[in-house]
Amino acid sequence: THFSHAITRRPAPSIIAGLRAVDTGSPDLALMQAHHAAYVATLQETGATVVELPALDAYPDSVFVEDTALCLPEGAVIMRPGAPSRLGEAAEMAPHLRALYGQVVEITGKDSFIEGGDILVTEREVLVGRSARTNAAGVAELARLVGPWGHKLREVHTPPGVLHFKTDCSLLDVDTVLSTTRLSASGCFEGYRVIPVADGEEAAANTIRFNDLVLMPAGFPKTRDTILAAGFNVREIGNSECAKLDGGMSCLSLRF
Ligand code: CIR
């Protein structure tokens, strides 16, 4: 798959109020901005156009744009984030997707909740994990919306205590998945080649392959070496500040 576009949003000063499962201290805005700039530059280096949206101070977690939409070749689906403080981020993203996509549809059910971080799109299927943010009604509504576009959904299991399904896995190529062992042990990647994340490096599972590069968080040398040995070009990006808010490489962009 070739990605011609990515959408990102600059981190806002309110980032210090971002959601986190465990408080390990507040992120440093200046350092996060530096990491974010390196991330954007790396996406651009592959030849893609990066639409950089301005910071949105009303939404502390708005840098994590992935959760607001699902981008498929046929069209985009606006999500309904399950975190109440993030619900409004989806409406902020909608006009930008309408400007770039022919078809944009929305999850609208009052009881439907789903975040992009719970969705992994492969060439053959769309994997969706229920989580504290994504419920059965949200998954069902997504299935109804993307079915007519020819996409089959398969529901998978997010490990307990893990924020999103994709916190623990990434797609490296059409049939290769990088996954933590706690996730792949559920059997959800049968039929795919699985590259395991090294024990103790679980936070390295959330990477992205973007054109000829794999972007991964810095500081996980064993997993980095495994990905390199599998023949991928790796770029390490500082992620210390996003990690304090349970965010990683995939969360920071929409890619299409
Ligand atoms: C949140 O809890 O919603 C944010 N602090 C982190 C979102 C990370 N997004 C993602 O994994 N797709």
- In ligand 1, the atom with minimum distance to the C-alpha of 115 is 12
Closest residue (by CA) to atom 7 of ligand 1?
247
The per-residue DSSP string of 176-245 comes to: EEEE-HHHHTTTTTTTSEEEEPPTT-GGGS--EEETTEEEEESS-HHHHHHHHHTT--EEEE--HHHHTT
The angle formed by the CA atoms of residues 108, 111 and 114, to the nearest 5 degrees, is: 70
Q: Which residues contact 90 (CB under 8 A, 6 or more apart)?
A: 68, 69, 78, 79, 80, 81, 106
Which among 61, 166, 241 is the best mutation to test ligand 1's pocket, defined by most ligand atoms within 8 Å of the CB? 61
Q: Is the shortest distance between the CB of 249 and ligand 1 below 6 Å?
A: no
**Enclosing domain of residue 86:** 5-255
Q: What pLDDT was estimated at residue 64? A: 98
Give the span between the Cα atoms of 158 and 186, in whole angstroms: 9
Q: What pLDDT was estimated at residue 164? A: 97
Give the span between the Cα atoms of 5 and 9, in whole angstroms: 14
Give the span between the Cα atoms of 253 and 6, in whole angstroms: 6
Q: What pLDDT was estimated at residue 30? A: 98
Q: Which residues contact 132 (CB under 8 A, 6 or more apart)?
A: 82, 163
Contact status, residue 59 vs residue 84, Cβ threshold 8 Å: no
Q: Is the shortest distance between the CB of 61 and ligand 1 below 6 Å?
A: yes
Q: Is the shortest distance between the CB of 164 and ligand 1 below 6 Å?
A: yes
DSSP H or E run through 41? helix 29-45
Question: Catalytic residue numbers?
Answer: 164, 251
Q: How many CB atoms lie under 10 A from the CB of residue 108? A: 10
Q: What pLDDT was estimated at residue 1? A: 77
Q: How many domains are contained in the chain?
A: 1
- Report pLDDT digits (tens) over 196-238: 999 999 999 999 999 999 999 999 999 999 999 999 999 999 9
pLDDT mean over 152-162: 95
* ipTM metric: 0.98
Phi, psi angles (nearest 5°) of residue 127: -95, 130
Q: Where residue 171 sits, what CATH number does that domain have?
A: 3.75.10.10
Q: Is the shortest distance between the CB of 168 and ligand 1 below 6 Å?
A: no
